[in-house]
């Protein structure tokens, strides 16, 4: 049994707290609002996970020091835009050698840091890891079968965390490609916005299949230039996470996209979804990375223009369909050509 602090009492943080508690660990769940923490401590549920009971054995608090001090493992589950601020508040309480697992999917604007990059800069005394994969909180909290990937700098740390998280309903694989894991988790949210926009416009399964398959090409193209591995983007945190985020109504990114496809603005869509839509924050950073690494990302570029330049989604689709004709995979040679 480990003492674990889960920082972030949203749907995903709460789901992971329930999972870790079910695995026999001593879990403390932190909310940044005192009134919310008191309500959850009393009612044992959150509005974003209706019908899910939070076990009495999980302590719920707004005291960050209490959540962090003396914990060997900390799971960070706040919105990506709040990671740096939260890490700065945590820093003085984190024990040397503690492992901070980022369960946040995003890229920081400006610095273009992944979430573990931020944690390592702000809390250098800690070791970092990343948890990602096709894992809607609504299903994990109900203990429905799920598979994820944990990336870490050492195999020893990865296997320690694998044992901590793994259960009969939560299968965990490990990987040395932390960068690929984090990029796949962040960029798939932008493609999910595109899939939602297509759904909102009334396009069919053909369009969604095209967005998913060409979307993973864009993610892998950029990710490999940055040092990620193709195998990662072909796995759970790449194509797996992309499929579930583009297809499910649990996906806040897809739901926001649907609303925009129906004519709402980005701001109106985010307000109606009433949850953090991470793809909006990752979209700009993705284009900055594309420029830095001289990489073409046509779907992500059109999403940015819809989000931030008021482009008509119909025009964006037309631009994608009428791009210069191309081969699907330039690595496959024609007969008689050298690869």
DSSP count for the chain of H helices, then E strands: 16, 8
Cα–Cα distance between 226 and 290 in angstroms, integer? 10
Degrees, nearest 5: CA angle 249-147-60: 75
Cβ atoms of 290 and 297 within 8 Å: the answer is: yes
Looking up tokens 């631009």, which residue turns up?
319
Cα–Cα distance between 56 and 43 in angstroms, integer? 10
Cβ atoms of 59 and 28 within 8 Å: the answer is: yes
Cα–Cα distance between 208 and 190 in angstroms, integer? 14
Looking up tokens 């994608």, which residue turns up?
320
Cβ atoms of 251 and 245 within 8 Å: the answer is: yes
What tokens does 62 get?
């707004």
Q: Which of 193, 211, 200 is nearest to 259 (CA)?
A: 200
What tokens does 97 get?
């050698």
Cβ atoms of 268 and 277 within 8 Å: the answer is: no
Task: Note if 188 is an active site residue.
Answer: yes
Report the Cα–Cα distance between both ends of the chain, in Å, rounded.
Answer: 53
Q: Which of 86, 110, 113 is nearest to 100 (CA)?
A: 86
Choose, from 71, 105, 188, 208, the residue flagged as catalytic.
188
| Three-state SS sequence of 47-61 | CCCCCCCCCCCCEEE
Query: What DSSP designation does 332 have?
Result: S
Cα–Cα distance between 273 and 11 in angstroms, integer? 14
Give catalytic residues, as residue numbers: 188
């Amino acid at each position: 049994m480990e003492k674990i602090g889960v920082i972030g009492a949203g749907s995903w943080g709460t789901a992971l707290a329930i999972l870790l508690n079910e695995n026999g660990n001593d879990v403390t769940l932190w909310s940044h609002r005192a009134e919310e923490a008191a309500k959850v401590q009393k009612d044992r549920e959150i509005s974003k996970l209706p019908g899910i009971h939070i076990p009495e054995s999980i302590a719920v608090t707004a005291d960050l020091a209490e959540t962090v001090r003396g914990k060997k493992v900390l799971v960070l589950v706040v919105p990506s835009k709040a990671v740096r601020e939260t890490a700065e508040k945590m820093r003085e309480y984190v024990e040397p050698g503690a492992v901070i697992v980022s369960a946040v999917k995003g890229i920081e604007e400006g610095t273009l840091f992944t979430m573990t990059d931020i944690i390592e800069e702000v809390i250098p005394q800690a070791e970092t890891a990343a948890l990602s994969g096709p894992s809607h909180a609504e299903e994990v909290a109900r203990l429905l079968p799920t598979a994820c990937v944990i990336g870490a700098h050492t195999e020893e740390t990865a296997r320690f965390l694998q044992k901590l998280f793994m259960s009969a309903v939560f299968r965990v694989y490990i990987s040395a490609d932390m960068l690929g894991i984090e990029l796949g988790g962040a960029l798939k949210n932008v493609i999910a916005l595109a899939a939602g926009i297509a759904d909102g416009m009334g396009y069919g399964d053909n369009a969604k299949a095209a967005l998913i398959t060409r979307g993973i090409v864009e993610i892998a193209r950029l990710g490999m230039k940055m040092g990620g591995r193709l195998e990662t983007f072909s796995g759970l945190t790449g194509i797996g996470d992309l499929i579930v985020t583009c297809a499910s109504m649990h996906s806040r990114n897809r739901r926001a996209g649907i609303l925009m496809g129906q004519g709402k603005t980005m701001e109106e869509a985010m307000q109606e979804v009433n949850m953090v839509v991470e793809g909006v924050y990752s979209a700009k950073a993705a284009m900055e990375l594309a420029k830095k690494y001289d990489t073409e990302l046509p779907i992500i570029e059109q999403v940015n223009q819809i989000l931030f330049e008021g482009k008509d989604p119909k025009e964006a689709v037309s631009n994608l369909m009428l791009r210069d004709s191309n081969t699907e995979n330039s690595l496959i040679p024609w007969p008689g050509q050298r690869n």
